[in-house]
Amino acid sequence: MATQHYIEGKDVTEWASMAKLKAGRLLRSVPDACLQYWGGMGYTWDNPVSRLYRDGRLASIGGGADEVMLGIISKHMHTLPAHR
Ligand SMILES: Cc1cc2nc3c(=O)[nH]c(=O)nc-3n(C[C@H](O)[C@H](O)[C@H](O)COP(=O)(O)OP(=O)(O)OC[C@H]3O[C@@H](n4cnc5c(N)ncnc54)[C@H](O)[C@@H]3O)c2cc1C
């Protein structure tokens, strides 16, 4: 849907922010579940899951933190209180 809108030349700021927010949250929850599955082994640096757990965390910070994405989405949905 976002790609189609982009191709049509529409503003996809809201869609892109939603996609980034969702991707960041997935990159937190999936490695977390994987690490839990591996138990203590997943927690050690020798295990690639441990690396993924740390590296995936950046997605919710870099290029605009999750909170920034939420701010952009809220602004586009006109759900922020009006500034006076
Ligand atoms: C490994 C790595 C590589 C990087 N590479 C690049 C790069 O190649 N190019 C580049 O330009 N930058 C790069 N960065 C910088 C990255 O883009 C910033 O770290 C990111 O934008 C977040 O800014 P910050 O670290 O100053 O955190 P801050 O902006 O200080 O955010 C810290 C926390 O404050 C809160 N917060 C911040 N703003 C708001 C808000 N408006 N509303 C509500 N809460 C808020 C959030 O909880 C957020 O997580 C990189 C960072 C890292 C760690």
Which residues, at least 6 apart from 55, have a Cβ–Cβ distance to it below 8 Å? none
High-pLDDT (> 70) share of the chain, %: 95
Furthest C-alpha separation in the chain:
54
What pLDDT score was predicted for residue 81? 61
- Give the pTM: 0.87
Q: Was domain 12-76 assigned CATH 2.60.120.260?
A: no
pLDDT at position 61 over 80: yes
Which residues, at least 6 apart from 37, have a Cβ–Cβ distance to it below 8 Å? none
Model pLDDT for residues 3-39, shown as the tens digit of each residue: 898 999 999 999 999 999 999 999 999 999 999 999 9
Q: What is the pLDDT confidence band of residue 83, given thresholds at 50, 70 and 90?
A: low
Closest residue CA from atom 13 of ligand 1: 62
What pLDDT score was predicted for residue 1? 82
Q: For residue 67, how far is its CA from the centre of ligand 1 (angstroms)? A: 10
Q: Provide the residue ranges of all domains of the chain, joining segments of one domain with +.
A: 12-76
